Homo-oligomer: A and B are copies of this chain.
Amino acid sequence: MDDTRERILFSAMKLFAEKGYLSTSVADILKGAGAHSGSLYHFFPTKQDVLVAVLGLYRDGIEPMLLAPAWDGVSDPIERVFALLAAYRRMLAGTDCLYGCPIGSLALELHEPDPPVRELLAVNFSGWVAHVQACLDQARERLPAGTDRRSLATFVLTVMEGGVMQSRTHRTLEAFDAGVSRLRDYFMRLEQAAQLERE
């Protein structure tokens, strides 16, 4: 079959998200893919190259797999930011707070990742932040003058990842919801301040 490479890739993606990179053995990946070790090593020089390919899938999937469904029917740029956070909340809620953001998990699991891996983790974060910043840029006039929108977009990712981490640990949505509520409050105050500026 021609799709062996893809079956291996998606099996690895699933397992890395569920059990992490180190706890997933090559044998696990092969079992999930219905393939044999020779096939995996035909397509990928090492296990780490499988990870690199998986991180590439995430990078390329941000728009079509994550943002498109999350933003379906949501046009307001600031609401889109919170719709994205709501998508992560659904992921947490749908897995009893077991799985949140696979990139964040891998980023902290791999303490000193080889350059290509760290690069791809960083690219995934940057891509996410860039899309959020595009929303903020669109809502530029609703934010106080001089707002550092790149910094604010980074902050949104910070709140998401920090919330996911705590919610996974406590197995409760409380920390994630607290983060989103506080971010809501912050945005509300920013919009209020911008409103006052305009008067």
Contacts and interface: CB of A to CB of B under 8 A. Distances in A.
A49 interface: no
Contacts of A151: 178, 181-182
Copy total for this chain: 2
Interface string A134-177: 00000000000000101110110111111101101111001100
Contacts of A168: 107-108
A186 B174 CA distance: 20
A22 interface: yes
A107 B20 CA distance: 12
A189 interface: yes
Contacts of A170: 122, 125
Contacts of A186: 182, 185-186, 189
Interface residues of A, number: 47
A20 B111 CA distance: 7
A60 interface: no
A111 B125 contact: no
A155 B182 contact: yes
Interface of A: 18-20, 22-23, 98, 104-105, 107-109, 111-112, 118, 121-122, 125, 148, 150-152, 154-155, 157-163, 165-166, 168-171, 174-175, 178-179, 181-182, 185-186, 189-190, 193
Given A98-B111, A157-B175, 15 more contacts: A20-B109, A104-B165, A107-B165, A107-B166, A108-B109, A118-B169, A118-B171, A151-B178, A152-B182, A155-B159, A158-B159, A158-B179, A160-B162, A161-B162, A162-B163
> What 5 A-B pairs are tightest by C-beta distance, nearest first?
A162-B162, A158-B162, A108-B108, A151-B178, A161-B162
